[in-house]
A and B are shown apart, each in its own frame.
Chain A
């Protein structure tokens, strides 16, 4: 199987990078702020840069020796060729062709038809980005390794949704047809959350002189990464049930239904919601009529001191024995509130939050 075995060390200028990974994750996300060495890491992975020590193996062979579709940030379209020629080269390089339906979806999502006859050097930056993405997808079709460096950056909103939708279809196809793995770099945790099975965070220490020491942390579930890095203490992934006017109903993993902002949503959309702990209120008895649309029952499961406030984990229950479906929502209260409300562990509480406190981070 296509398992990553990476052990890389690389130092140049003021960057010192180490990367260790042993994983058979199909879609791996690399997350970190810009300018911290993510692109360098990708090119070490591909063998475009020679590591000072170590190796990058995929399925036991050096990554660069196998078929690869790479969409770099600087595009690297062959400028003297037309767009069609650039894409044809990728088709020839691919281990197997992309199924016609997916290729049609690719050309449509990226609006490539009008560009095919153009010379690559005559494209604008945004157009070139779309072509480079298509070339990578075509070149990696089948068992090739797909490597995307910020694939959704600098796309406008509408096209972003189209391309994200296409990439999700592509991911489905690659997973079900025994396709090769993908590595996606992004500084947007949300994109990685939607696309990837595992995310590795690039942690960087910047010394006063500007020297950067970067290393990849152990891979983790995208939700945890997003929660930590995106400022959203709670992430809710699920499906829109119904849409009514400006609002929609959404069923939480534990079964409770909540109301979320419904603009632009349709029933059946998969969405990722973000909710900050500061925006969730706690009550110990039913307050009666409140303006907040969402009132959920739960029990205090954890309490963690975080400087000026205490983070409470409220367990909303769920199916017995099904830990994966248990939902814990984090809320922040002051120490005073903790005392006054007597919020000890196991205490039954109500959680209240406004529809408008919920951010729709990603939808499909």
Chain B
């Protein structure tokens, strides 16, 4: 049973930690891209989207270079620990969270924010009392999707975190190991668990996204 439970718990805890890590920067990036036009807007947009399109293994290589002795040696001790697994999952989840958060903010009529400002609300009060509450469902959906993405992370994690059972071996890594070892039954059990978990997360994100239609306000 531990063969299923241990990687499942590792996966959940890595994905949760990664989601927590990207929540604020992801939402902030989404807001920035949706609401601010600044020099380098397109560049930031492109950089944020990059991990979505380049191979995860390449991202893993970049992280390895940033952290490890062979590169910048920012945190060589973190390699092949839970921290590295969390970081890899977070980096891979960030673009999705930022992208979905951007959509959530873009779904809030900027004229409502104008109106709030004209009623004397400060920019920060407008953000806290108007923009965030109106975007909340979309933002929650963004975090759930980020969590799902972190849960399925493999390519970057395997490079920087390896296959340390109970420490870095998530569901995805455990499936890979079982396939390598030829243990088809164990792999199948893990695949089913991973599918179930991911499906639940995506379904939840979908529910949150459709619920966000209700808050659009009275229209003439």
**A interface residue numbers (CB < 8 A to B):** 46, 48, 64, 67-68, 70, 72-80, 89-90, 92-93, 120-125, 127-129, 131, 135, 139, 154
Which listed residue, B130, B214, B219, touches A75 by the CB 8 Å rule?
B219
Contact B219 A48 (CB under 8 A): no
Which listed residue, A70, A76, A131, touches B109 by the CB 8 Å rule?
A76
Min CB distance A7 to B, Å, is 22
Q: What B residues does A64 contact at CB under 8 A?
A: 118
Contact A46 B118 (CB under 8 A): yes
Min CB distance B203 to A, Å, is 25
A-B contact pairs, 5 of them (CB 8 A): A73-B220, A75-B220, A79-B217, A122-B218, A131-B218
Min CB distance A180 to B, Å, is 14
Contact A121 B214 (CB under 8 A): yes
The answer to whether B183 has its CB under 8 Å from any CB of chain A is: no
Which listed residue, A67, A89, A93, A124, touches B218 by the CB 8 Å rule?
A124
Most buried by A among B119, B120, B214: B119
How many chain B residues sit at the interface, stated as a range, is 20 to 34
Q: What B residues does A93 contact at CB under 8 A?
A: 118-120
Which listed residue, A48, A68, A89, A90, touches B111 by the CB 8 Å rule?
A48
Contact A75 B217 (CB under 8 A): yes
The answer to whether B216 has its CB under 8 Å from any CB of chain A is: yes
In Å, the complex CA distance between A155 and B217 comes to 19
Closest 9 CB pairs of A and B: A79-B217, A128-B218, A93-B120, A76-B115, A123-B218, A125-B220, A93-B119, A89-B119, A121-B217
The answer to whether B114 has its CB under 8 Å from any CB of chain A is: yes
Main secondary structure on B side of the interface with A? helix
**B interface residue numbers (CB < 8 A to A):** 109, 111-112, 114-116, 118-121, 130, 133-134, 214-220
Chain B, residue nearest A129 (CB): B220
In Å, the complex CA distance between A80 and B218 comes to 10
Min CB distance B4 to A, Å, is 43
Q: What A residues does B215 contact at CB under 8 A?
A: 79-80, 121
In Å, the complex CA distance between A92 and B219 comes to 24
In Å, the complex CA distance between A80 and B115 comes to 14
In Å, the complex CA distance between A75 and B116 comes to 12
Given known A-B contacts A70-B115, A80-B133, A92-B120, A127 and B220 have beta carbons under 8 A apart: no
Q: What B residues does A76 contact at CB under 8 A?
A: 109, 111-112, 114-115, 217
Known: A70-B118, A80-B215, A128-B220. 16 other contacts (CB 8 A): A67-B120, A72-B111, A73-B220, A74-B219, A76-B114, A78-B112, A78-B115, A92-B119, A93-B120, A120-B217, A121-B216, A121-B217, A122-B218, A125-B218, A128-B218, A139-B119
In Å, the complex CA distance between A128 and B220 comes to 7
In Å, the complex CA distance between A13 and B134 comes to 30
In Å, the complex CA distance between A281 and B214 comes to 61
In Å, the complex CA distance between A120 and B134 comes to 13
Most buried by B among A89, A127, A129, A154: A89
In Å, the complex CA distance between A123 and B115 comes to 18
Q: What B residues does A131 contact at CB under 8 A?
A: 218
Contact B121 A77 (CB under 8 A): no
Which listed residue, B130, B219, B220, touches A78 by the CB 8 Å rule?
B130
Most buried by B among A48, A90, A127, A154: A48
Which listed residue, B114, B121, B133, B217, touches A89 by the CB 8 Å rule?
B121
Contact B119 A75 (CB under 8 A): no
Min CB distance B86 to A, Å, is 34
